[in-house]
Amino acid sequence: MKGEYIRVRQGQGGQAAIISREERLFLPCPCGSRLPYIDCCGSRVVKLESLRLSRLARGLKRKLSHFAQHPAFTEAAVWAQHLYLSEIAGSLLSLDEEFVGERCFEWFIFDFPVAGEHTVLDLFLRLYWEELSEEERKLLKSWRRAPNSFYEVKAVGRERILLQDLFNRGKFIARGFARGAELSRGLILYLRLLRVGEEYEFSTAALSLAPETKPVIKAWLSQDYEAYKEARGKKRLPWSTYLRERSHRIMAWASFLSSGRDEKRAEQEGVWGEKLDRLLVQLEEQLLQKATLGLGAWGEEEEREERLEEEQAWARPEYAEVARLVARDLRARGSGPQVGRALALWHRFCAVARPTIRKAAAWVAALVYAVNRLEGNRAVNQQRLADEYGVSVSSVSVKYRLLCRSLGLE
């Protein structure tokens, strides 16, 4: 339906105007009811194909959600949640807790790189390719290319709304908007549209912004896009790639704006100075890369373990020393398979907490205890480890709790 246009007569002057086919469906019905055609005579035509595809899409969403909760993604999910919530912390008081959780989980599935550059959706498509029907593959491949973006509500029906992308001007008929939200013409929505046949569906609940925020949104995103390209050292970057890579930061900024705070301050809030922007982008790329290190279910355990035993993989020499001692300890205990997981855990903790290392032995004991505890091995206890490393049991306990608190392990 996208891209089809029809010339119609409207207005007292009888001047010809070009409207899209999507807009035409929301004009008053020719039968004279004054209802939008899509809610009147147009609603009497039930397309069985649309219903079937809608059911298929719902089933795929359930499968994706179930797949994303696989234990192999636990560490990546913890890191994604930490990164996402830390971004929008300033707006949390103005947002519904359930809404934040939904958006975070959706971002984790569609945009967060859990293995290299691959997302949960990418891995699902790759692992279950043979079991999926051709229609399911087609839906998933189109969803992979769908970023969160800003849309203006152009028309509202009982079950469908007409949306226009603020930046590429494309028009989309969407259904299934969450929670029966009160939608009105001119409202700005930040959401991901998933194509299902000829129409689109919300991937999850949308963030709504007042119509008067439209110029602020357009100005800020245009500036941030240029700043992000420069920070990445790229002269060209597809708009959709920018929206996907920057999704959690855009959500944070949009949440700030939707909270009703001063628009000028919001406009200035997000476009950082050039030096700071470069530093933050570089740090973020490193953190996102580290997040994939804890995911050992796809046959990359040995490769990650080798990377993390190299000196250059660590921000500080003392972090590398702890990693070396932990690896030696676990191998001596006959726990070789735990080495990769322990090093990934330590690497993530160092990225989050940037700890000061005074006694490496205490951190080694705490990390060895944490890994064994997480895997249900009660034979290794804090007192025994403290004795082995010549440190106090309280020191091991404090550092273990800090590890857990920082990484959300308990």
* Confidence check: pLDDT of 282 > 70: no
CA distance 196 to 316: 49
Pair (225, 344) in one structural domain? no
Pair (226, 356) in one structural domain? no
Structure tokens at 306: 């080798």
Q: What is the pLDDT of residue 214?
A: 93
The packing angle between helices 214-232 and 247-258, to 10°, is: 150
Q: List the CATH number of the domain containing 371.
A: 1.10.472
Pair (146, 231) in one structural domain? yes
Q: What is the pLDDT of residue 259?
A: 72
Pair (273, 394) in one structural domain? no
**17-54 pLDDT, tens per residue?**
566 666 666 777 777 777 776 666 666 555 667 778 88
Between the two ends of the chain, the Cα-to-Cα distance in Å is 49
Task: Give mean pLDDT, residues 383-408.
Answer: 83
Q: What is the pLDDT of residue 151?
A: 95
CA distance 113 to 80: 9
Decide if 303 is inside a domain.
Answer: no
Pair (186, 318) in one structural domain? no
Decide if 308 is inside a domain.
Answer: no
Task: Give the chain's domain count.
Answer: 3
The amino acid present at 160, given as its one-letter code, is: R
**239-249 pLDDT, tens per residue?**
999 999 889 88
Structure tokens at 172: 């989309």
CA distance 270 to 254: 10
Question: At which residue do the structure tokens 């912004």 appear?
Answer: 209
Longest C-alpha distance within the chain, in Å? 92
Decide if 300 is inside a domain.
Answer: no
The amino acid present at 370, given as its one-letter code, is: A
Instruction: Tell how far CA 385 is from the center of its chain.
Output: 39
List, as own/partner pairs, every contact residues 360-363 make where C-beta atoms lie below 8 angstroms and the sequence separation is at least 24, other chains included.
Answer: 360/318, 360/321, 360/322, 360/325, 361/325, 361/389, 361/390, 361/391, 362/389, 362/391, 362/392, 362/395, 362/396, 362/399, 363/322, 363/399
Structure tokens at 139: 């839906």
> Half-sphere exposure of 66 toward its Cβ, with a 13 Å CA cutoff?
6
Worst-scoring range by mean pLDDT, 97-101, 118-122, 204-208, 398-402? Answer: 97-101
Q: What is the pLDDT of residue 176?
A: 63
Instruction: Tell how far CA 299 is from the center of its chain.
Output: 24
How distant, in Å, are the alpha carbons of 83, 230, 313, 315, 393 from that of 287?
A: 9, 19, 13, 12, 31
Pair (117, 190) in one structural domain? yes
Pair (14, 141) in one structural domain? no
Pair (255, 137) in one structural domain? yes
Contacts of 270 (CB under 8 A, 6+ apart): 220, 224, 249, 253
180 pLDDT band (50/70/90 cuts)?
very low
Q: What is the pLDDT of residue 293?
A: 43
Pair (337, 278) in one structural domain? no
Decide if 307 is inside a domain.
Answer: no
Pair (337, 192) in one structural domain? no
CA distance 107 to 81: 10
Task: Give mean pLDDT, residues 69-96.
Answer: 72
Task: Give mean pLDDT, residues 369-395.
Answer: 83
* Confidence check: pLDDT of 334 > 90: no
User: Please, where are the H alpha helices in 147-270?
Assistant: 214-232, 239-245, 247-258, 263-270
- Domain extent at residue 396: 314-407
Q: What is the pLDDT of residue 46?
A: 55
Instruction: Tell how far CA 337 is from the center of its chain.
Output: 30
**252-272 pLDDT, tens per residue?**
888 888 876 544 544 444 443
Question: At which residue do the structure tokens 């194509």 appear?
Answer: 195
List, as own/partner pairs, every contact residues 267-270 make where C-beta atoms lie below 8 angstroms and the sequence separation is at least 24, other chains included.
Answer: 267/216, 267/219, 267/220, 270/220, 270/224
Decide if 383 is inside a domain.
Answer: yes
Q: What is the pLDDT of residue 17?
A: 55
* Confidence check: pLDDT of 220 > 80: yes
CA distance 104 to 179: 17
**290-309 pLDDT, tens per residue?**
444 444 443 344 445 555 55
Core vs surface per residue 34-58: b (16+ CB within 10 A) or e: ebbbbbbebbeeeeeeeeebbebbe
Higher pLDDT, 81 or 141: 141
CA distance 334 to 361: 19
Q: What is the pLDDT of residue 85?
A: 75
188 pLDDT band (50/70/90 cuts)?
very high
| Residue 25: strand, helix, or coil | coil
Structure tokens at 326: 């932990």
| Mean residue pLDDT across the chain | 76
Task: Give mean pLDDT, residues 358-385.
Answer: 84
CA distance 11 to 281: 50
281 pLDDT band (50/70/90 cuts)?
low
Report yes or no: 140 and 153 within 8 Å, Cβ to Cβ. Answer: no
Higher pLDDT, 24 or 369: 369
Decide if 148 is inside a domain.
Answer: yes
Pair (270, 213) in one structural domain? yes
CA distance 164 to 410: 44
Decide if 309 is inside a domain.
Answer: no
Pair (59, 150) in one structural domain? yes
The pLDDT > 70 percentage for the chain reads: 72
Q: What is the pLDDT of residue 10?
A: 45
Q: What is the pLDDT of residue 168?
A: 87
Worst-scoring range by mean pLDDT, 106-115, 140-149, 327-336? Answer: 327-336
